[in-house]
Structure 1
Amino acid sequence: MSAEDTPNTLSTLDAGGKTYHYYSLPKAAEALGDIKRLPFTLKVLLENQLRFASEPSVYREDMQALVDWQKEARSTREIGYRPARVLMQDFTGVPGVVDLASMRDAVQRLGEDPARINPLSPVDLVIDHSVMVDHFGDASSFKDNVTIEMERNHERYEFLRWGQQAFDNFRVVPPGTGICHQVNLEYLGKAVWTKDEDGKSYAYPDTLVGTDSHTTMINGLGVLGWGVGGIEAEAAMLGQPVSMLIPEVIGFKITGKLREGITATDLVLTVTQMLRKKGVVGKFVEFYGDGLKDMPVADRATIANMAPEYGATCGFFPIDEQTLDYMRLTGRDDDQIALVEAYAKAQGLWREPGHEPIYTDTLQLDMGEVEASLAGPKRPQDRVALTDMKLTFEKLMDGEASDASAQAQARWQSEGGQPADYDQHSHFENNDSQVCEMNGESFKLNPGAVVIAAITSCTNTSNPSVMLAAGLLARKATEKGLSTKPWVKTSLAPGSKVVTDYLAAGGVQEDLNKLGFNLVGYGCTTCIGNSGPLPEQVEKAIDAGDLTVASVLSGNRNFEGRVHPLVKTNWLASPPLVVAYALAGNVRLDLTKEPLGNGKDGNPVYLKDIWPSQAEIAEAVEQVKTDMFRKEYAEVFNGDETWQSIKVPESKVYEWSKDSTYIQHPPFFDGMGKEPEPVEDIKDARVLAMLGDSVTTDHISPAGSIKPDSPAGRYLQEHGVQPKDFNSYGSRRGNHEVMMRGTFANVRIRNEMLDGVEGGYTRHVVTGEQMAIYDAAMKYAEDNTPLVVVAGKEYGTGSSRDWAAKGTRLLGVRAVIAESYERIHRSNLIGMGVLPLQFPEGEDRKSLGLTGDETFSIEGLGELDPGGTVRVVIKSDKGEKAIDATCRIDTVNEMEYYRHGGILHYVLRSML
């Protein structure tokens, strides 16, 4: 049954002096069943199905499954979902624009107008991932960092500047403006989206997918959105549905109020710990309860931002008065606000007091129980109470606990405080202090030294209460005569220019400057590893003593090695605590009992002496005015003089430069015709790599630094790039030559074709030589030898990195044969024209005795059916055997993508 018998739900409503058409959920309920207690997020998905009922990928059974979800609070049905828009940041957005540009080239080659290729859904790309903290602690830091950023990324920015003027439905927010998630929250998000079509205005929920995991932040505004990989995002912006299972929805009930001295950051770290313990991976989380009544959107967004850290697809807050208040504050149009209220109430998407939907499972938090907290040393869900930080670090130094925070809490609770025999120096005999000299001053760098204190990342810089709390604490500290310790690298990287306006209006920016928290840039810095170098003397001291030092940052991620390679412990904290630890200079202190230092009167100053009260913070927040938002976002797409001075040709197709090492024309559409070629069998393919269980997309996809002796490093040096200028794989995602050389090149990957060898190597079976996987793939390509990858269970787990699939395709891999797949990577392989096959039940590479020396012939591909079986003939010196592998092309849509050679090929031909 198709959607032909879908109930007619088209209705109208009036708001802001205008009439809007919309697809009514109450009318749908008359035909499909009561939905009053359906979770808000699933109501949004149901509206999406109603609106796209005429599409071939939508069925009435999909709508009924969403309504019937209430019976079991779960479903196994897969649906096609079409978000209203797409959000990108520059690291993941550049390859998407490269693909669009290469599609235009292909269209022109086929004799058609290249201007026909444009995003079908609105796309906003915010350049926010490229600024690094090279300079800090003085008034020129921002200007100096922006200058370096523009020089370092000129080729990429030139390309994006071309895209800004070449494509319709595509906008670019230039560098030095803000973080994509904060710009999305403060300006781009509408809560209710509109579209004019056939002389009518249609209203529907503002929904999106983004190429960054923290896209979830926008759920704080009542906008359903989450992060996806680049291939899924490209498909969405080209009008293709996002394939997804109807999710389980976990309800999180919020009651009570935060106590004096407790911040929104403390709340989110508590929520993160609770939800990670609950287990919500792949699920939606919805917040409800009367505690939301007084919770501002800034606090909601702080919680929604960290959905990837607690493992959920999203953390959603329904629309209510707080939503409207925030939209008014941030300068949204009055008519838009009127539409949001009218639409949400008409659709049953407005949060009513006492309303409790049906959920798969629930948990509850009284905000009055939240305590001051940090999280670390290497996972955001490992919350540590501020009172336990000292003992937690002692445990880490002892090496007694992998989950030090949990053990510390247990010890404190069981012993009622600090043990009587506690000696703060006894645990550091094997981690010696180092003498360090800076600016004519000599000091000791001790274990636990805070060498980075960074107010950074979208999580907290979008929240005026914690940002102004940091400023007020800085003011009180300077008044007392405290100063930042000389070994601390301090930085302030707000998520938008509005933050600078209200810090200045509140009179606290000068106080932050006195402590070294000068503006370093608007963008993701320390949180994504763009922390820049430490002072040379500090780095030498850490190296000399192999010191275990710390960073304290107001971010959302603190994974091992992420912030800085020399910093072994990284702690997430609220902005005011970041300032406090910069003053203290060490995490080996109990800031609830021990002083931060001595004031100008010689007396000790404690954290409680300078912590601002809720009343002081509330008074400061009153300085945040609507005019600030309107001023900063009035010309948000224009950029500064440097951005505007970048000259690009006003051409429909991009003029590729053969000399560029950042942007290159990918070969995905080379030789493509208007009609797809028949799918041919794969004959006598060789094994490129034979891999074990749980190989992640981090193992497959290029990431991190580029080693000089790697294939990618050799390529860059051959093109005149010195190792000091390599930049990262992330910054070079627009150059397939670099990326394909880094595919399967992870230093921890283990190819079972080699004995005891780690890293991206394989055995070229014909010659018997061990060589880099890229080099072997090119050697096979010379003989037109197709390739396969053989793997174990859960192939492609982890982040849905698009280059894990793109690189696989470019290396000449025609099929992957694994025991099982992670859902999104399986889909991405199909999207790049690579066939995913699954070993038959009870069979695997080990039971079949595979060594990697075999050839594989895959037959019957011309008659392939979704979920059918495929005959695979395996030949070796010992003879021949055959298996019936399962075709993991699961849907009719996916089969069309594969038949066309990939999803972009399918879309391109459809557009023509």
Structure 2
Amino acid sequence: MSAAVKNPFEHIVEPLDPKDPKQQFFNLSKLGDPRYDRLPFSIRVLLESAVRNCDEFLVKRSDVESILNWKQTQFQTVEVPFRPARVILQDFTGVPAVVDFAAMRDAVMKLGGDPEKINPVCPADLVIDHSIQVDFNRKSDSLQKNQDLEFDRNKERFHETIRCELCVKVKVHRAPSGVGGIEAEAVMLGQPISMVLPEVVGYKVHGAADKFITSTDIVLTVTKHLRQVGVVGKFVEFFGPGVAQLSIADRATIANMCPEYGATAAFFPVDDVSLQYLEQTGREPEKLAYITQYLKAVAIFRDYNDVCQDPEFTQVVELDLSTVVPCCSGPKRPQDRIPVSDMKKDFEACLEAKQGFKGFQVAPQHHNATAPFQFNGKEYALSHGSVVIAAITSCTNTSNPSVMLGAGLLAKKAVECGLSVSVPQGDLIAAGVLSGNRNFEGRVHPNTRANYLASPPLVIAYALAGTVRIDFENEPIGNSEGKEVFLRDIWPTREEIQAVERMFVIPSMFKEVYEKIENVNERWNSLAAPSDKLYTWDPRSTYIKSPPFFDGLVSTCLSVGQPPPQLIQGNVGPFPACPGSTPGPPCGRTRPVLTPYPDYNSYGSRRGNDAVMARGTFANIRLFNKFLNKQAPQTVHLPTGETLDVFDAADRYQQSRIPLLVLAGKEYGSGSSRDWAAKGPFLLGIKAVLAESYERIHRSNLVGMGVIPLEYLPGDTADSLGLTGRERYSVVIPEPLTPRMVVDIKLDSGKTFQVRMRFDTDVELAYFRHGGILNYMIRKMSES
């Protein structure tokens, strides 16, 4: 683009404060367009970004008009660009991103470009969290011991990570927005997100919650409700007087579950409660005044009690907070909400039900089976439903002071009543109860087949009960000096929690933490990092390895071929601890196993090493493969008929130059570990996926890796089409390519059927032609 091209909306730029002419903004109210005041607040954010970044190249005036005309264009599959103001990368997501950047620098250099072009132009934060594992507990020095062991266990990963991070100069900024996954890497390099202008579901919250209800109860209720409504690919915007009663931590907990109910975004417009939170966490009064002035000037400041501010939505659904009851979610999916009052009968129904999301298929005569054992000299018995893991995990729940204080108060009251936890362990359908946001099989622990999401106080409650087969309303949680103690006797009220919160969660606490955050850990600060333009790969590292994504990359765009994929059928798995039986040498084909099993750490901690992650793909022990008709991380190698670990079978196919295809069901890709759920299949030689439907982020990441997402036409499934998975598949991709086009699949049997190719925008088609979004960015940076 010529440097002479100016933003066509420069005429609405003005100072926020006439006394400070340098602080300027695009005053959207000066557009003089009556449609603006009826737009959902979330769409106004898209509009502001489009206006501010309009250059008639990546963002055009026509894009601004499309967003303004949202009332009509939301139904017309209109593609618009969005340039986030900031990228937030969590530890496990951020490590492979900076590794990719380092590898991209090498690739740009090989193509004759300037490697320093691969450098974030969008402000980014890399947050190192989700790290501390609990090896020591119940002692005053447990925290220090766990920290020391964690640093010893992860020192190489931390060292390599900080070297990669400094190599690409990740910046720090405090603008409000965030994206994740493979797309985030392109966003950091200046590429807008290409998205179809979405429908916006207005979620009206009203009424008042019972004094015993937690934010987790609310979020699990909302998650199940929105799953039933169907919000995949849509925005959800919360409004109504009930929102004003929710704290920022409550809202964050609800928004954090967004991937689990399938929405593209869960949006809470800024209001007075938001500003109070900023004040509580130590922001300067001048900055708060500036923020308030700006939000009100562009009409994106919300008063949830003012119905005159309610915009037009595609659809409105409602939640009366008074109907929310204490609940959990499980035993295998976050959307399967269960009122706590029904937990006992629901678990017992799951025991007998057919193997599936709500079934374990245990014969009735075995429902009361027990396994006796000794612990610390005492006799115990494990049974179905025994709680063997009760964990308040590192998640959005734990950044919510109210539920954490509630858990502490509940534990305090339990101790005062003389109660203690159970300590069962064994090999039945044991249960895990955790305060996280995902409970897919194998994610918590391989041996806990039933896993429930719950609020931190309920985690404590089930730990005390020792089983999920309890009706808290009618059965005691324990006994103290011969007296039955019920959960209601020790459950803290919202008033009790709020009193403690007002006393201790104060601005000075946040200010103290923020002031010393960069110097509090001497071992972290002592890590050395180089300043080289290119990353020096350490061949001895088992944590960081140059990925093969760009091997053989040439400067020209790819041509469209007709790959003849063959089947591996299964589901994308999460990242448990690296098992001792990991296929092949876990750190590369030519490297021996250098560490004993306890030091393998987890797949997630080694996601900077593609050799490890490829072996972790489809390695979930609960993976169900129809080839085998049982749960196992294995498949059949069709040429020989052997049953092999998925990695080993894929390796054989690649040696024979046979590309692979996955046949899948609904919501393919649901779970965590977003980028590697797509990178792993790419490394296994998978060229296409055929599914009934996709988890939204996973489909996007498949596109980003150059894997073709195919979708059955309405009414079709593998069963209805008579697919066994033993056929050979040829995907016929004609020219010209268009978004969401229907293509033919030919089988070696002579049968042909049609599917939809889920490249949803022209930009996604461009990524496909280049073999993925990262290849596209490398070529773009090399040319410039």
Same fold at TM > 0.5? yes
Q: 1:328-727 maps to which residues of 2 (within 5 A)?
A: 328-352=279-303, 353-354=306-307, 355-397=309-351, 399=353, 430-480=367-417, 482-487=418-423, 538-539=424-425, 542-543=426-427, 546=428, 548-599=429-480, 602-623=482-503, 624-638=505-519, 640-672=521-553, 676-677=555-556, 679-680=558-559, 682=561, 687=565, 689-690=566-567, 696=571, 698=572, 705-706=578-579, 708=581, 710-711=583-584, 713=586, 715=588, 718-727=592-601
Q: Hey, what does 2:602 align to over in structure 1?
A: 728
Change in Cα spacing, 1:74 to 1:729, as seen in structure 2 (3 Å) is: same
Q: Structure 2: how far apart are the matches of 1:350 and 1:123? A: 25
Aligned positions of 1:196-211 closer than 5 A: 206-210=176-180
Contact 1:702 1:744 survives alignment (8 Å): no
Give the Cα–Cα distance (whole angstroms) in 1 for the partners of residues 731 and 330 of structure 2. 50
The structure-2 alpha-carbon separation of the partners of 1:19 and 1:670, relative to structure 1 and needing over 3 Å to count, comes to: same
Residue from 676, 681, 697 that aligns with 1:803: 676
Which amino acid counterpart does residue 453 of structure 2 have in structure 1?
L
CA distance in structure 1 between the partners assigned to 2:10 and 2:113 by the alignment? 40
Could you tell which deviates more after superposition, 259-268 or 103-112? 103-112
Matches within 5 A, 1:822-833: 822=694, 827-833=700-706
Deviation, structure 1 residue 316 = 1.6
CA shift digits 1:294-333 (9 cap, x unpaired): 4322222232222233333332211111111000001122
User: In the alignment, which of 266, 279, 287 is matched to residue 217 of structure 2?
Assistant: 266
Deviations 1:462-518 (A, max 9, x none): 2222222222333333333x231241xxxxxxxxxxxxxxxxxxxxxxxxxxxxxxx
Letter in 1 for 2:611: E
- CA distance in structure 2 between the aligned counterparts of 1:887 and 1:732, rounded to whole angstroms: 33
How many angstroms does 1:447 deviate by?
A: 4.4
Name which of 893, 900, 909 aligns with 2:763: 893
Q: Partner of 2:203: helix, strand, or coil?
A: strand
Give the C-alpha shift of residue 650 in structure 1: 3.6
Counterpart of 2:59 in structure 1 is 58
Change in Cα spacing, 1:57 to 1:135, as seen in structure 2 (3 Å) is: same
Tell me how far 1:626 sits from its aligned partner: 0.5
Q: In structure 1, how many angstroms separate the alpha carbons of the residues matched to 2:163 and 2:86?
A: 21
Kindly tell me: are residues 657 and 257 of structure 1, through their superposed partners in 2, closer, same or farther at Cα, counting changes over 3 Å?
A: same
Alpha carbons of structure 1 residues 381 and 768: separation in structure 2 relative to 1, 3 Å: closer
Secondary structure class of the residue paired with 2:581: coil
Query: Is 2:195 the partner of 1:280?
Result: no
Q: 1:27 aligns with which of 27, 30, 42?
A: 30
Q: Which residue of 2 aligns with 1:105?
A: 106
Point out where structure 1 has 5 or more consecutive residues left out of the alignment. 172-187, 194-205, 211-229, 406-426, 488-537
**TM-superposition CA deviations, 1:243-269 (whole Å, max 9, x none):** 222222111222232233333333223
| 1:893 to 1:580, Cα distance in 2 relative to 1, 3 A | closer
Query: Which deviates further from its counterpart, 637-646 or 324-333?
Result: 637-646
How high is the TM-score relative to the length of structure 1?
Answer: 0.73
Percent identity, aligned pairs only, is: 42
1:106 counterpart SS class: helix
* Conserved? CA contact 2:545–2:609, under 8 Å: yes
Question: SS of the counterpart of 2:297?
Answer: helix
Distance 1:720 1:618, change over 3 A: closer
Distance in 1 (CA, whole Å) between partners of 2:536 and 2:544 is 11
Instruction: Note the C-alpha offset of 1:75.
Output: 4.4
* Secondary structure in 1 matching 2:317: strand
- Name the TM-score, length of structure 2 as normaliser: 0.84
The one-letter amino acid of 1:483's match is L
How far 1:139 sits from its partner (Å)? 1.9
Q: Which amino acid aligns with 1:10?
A: V
The Cα of 1:101 is off from its aligned counterpart by: 0.8
Greater displacement, 640-649 / 737-746: 737-746
State how far apart, in whole Å, the 1-side matches of 2:691 and 2:119 are.
38
AA aligned to 1:910 is: K
CA deviations 1:548-586 (Å, max 9, x no partner) are: 443333332233343233333333333333333333333
Instruction: Give 2:144's aligned residue.
Output: 143
Choose 59-68 or 394-403, whichever is displaced more: 394-403
Q: Secondary structure at the match of 1:132?
A: coil
- RMSD, aligned CA: 4.3
Post-superposition shift, 1:44? 0.7
**Paired residue secondary structure (1:484):** coil
One-letter code aligned to 1:563: V
**C-alpha distance in structure 1 between counterparts of 2:263 and 2:635, whole Å:** 35
Contact kept in structure 2, 1:550 and 1:569, CA below 8 Å:
yes
Q: Which amino acid aligns with 1:803?
A: W
How far 1:735 sits from its partner (Å)?
Answer: 1.5
Shift, 1:741, TM fit? 4.5
State the distance in 1 between where 2:419 and 2:110 align.
Answer: 64
Question: Which amino acid is 1:732 matched to?
Answer: R
* Residues in 2 aligned to 1:573 and 1:882: alpha-carbon distance in whole angstroms: 47
Report deviation, 1:361: 1.6
Q: Is the 8 A contact 1:15 1:335 kept in 2?
A: no
1:285–1:312 Cα contact (<8 Å) kept: yes
> Which amino acid in 2 is paired with 1:308?
P
Q: Is residue 89–residue 126 contact of structure 1 (8 Å, CA) maintained in 2?
A: yes
| Rounded Cα–Cα distance in structure 1 between residues aligned with 2:713 and 2:139 | 63
Shift of 1:39: 0.9
Alignment pair present for 1:326 and 2:206: no
| Alignment-derived partner of residue 501 in structure 1 | none
> C-alpha distance in 1, partners of 2:474/2:745?
71
- SS across alignment from 1:467: helix
Q: Which residue in 2 is equivalent to 1:902?
A: 772
Q: Kindly indicate whether the alpha-carbon contact (under 8 Å) linking 1:690 and 1:790 is maintained by their aligned counterparts in 2.
A: yes
Equivalence for 2:135: 134
Contact 1:872–1:882 (Cα < 8 Å) also in 2? yes
Q: Count matched residues.
A: 765
Asked if 1 retains the 8 angstrom alpha-carbon contact of 2:282 and 2:507, the reply is yes
Distance 2:580 2:712 in 1: 35
Deviations 1:676-697 (A, max 9, x none): 23645658x664x2357xx65x
Task: Assess if the C-alpha contact under 8 Å between 1:456 and 1:553 holds in 2.
Answer: yes
Distance (whole Å) between structure 2 residues aligned to residue 843 and residue 303 of structure 1:
34
Change (3 A) 1:243 1:638: farther
Work out the CA distance in 2 between the residues paired with 1:817 and 1:478: 53
What is the alpha-carbon distance in structure 2 between the residues aligned to residue 278 and residue 795 of structure 1? 15
Aligned to 2:91: 90
Structure 1 Cα separation of the partners of residues 15 and 637 of structure 2: 66
Instruction: List runs of 5+ in structure 2 lacking aligned partners.
Output: none
- Write the distance in 2 (CA, Å) between the matches of 1:233 and 1:123: 10
**SS at 1:209's partner residue?**
coil
| Matches of 2:224 and 2:736, distance apart in 1 | 46
Equivalent pair of 1:792/1:844 in contact (CA under 8 Å): no
Whether the aligned pair in 2 keeps the contact of 1:49 and 1:58 (CA below 8 Å) is: yes
**1:341-390 alpha-carbon deviations (Å, 9 max, x no partner):** 11111111111322322112222223233333333333333333333334
- Do the aligned partners of residues 53 and 723 (structure 1) sit closer, same or farther apart at CA in structure 2, a change above 3 Å counting? same
C-alpha separation in 1, matches of 2:76 and 2:610:
39
What amino acid is the match of 1:728?
A: S
Three-state SS of the structure 2 residue aligned to 1:153 is helix
| Contact kept in structure 1, 2:624 and 2:630, CA below 8 Å | no
Conserved 8 A contact 2:329-2:453: yes
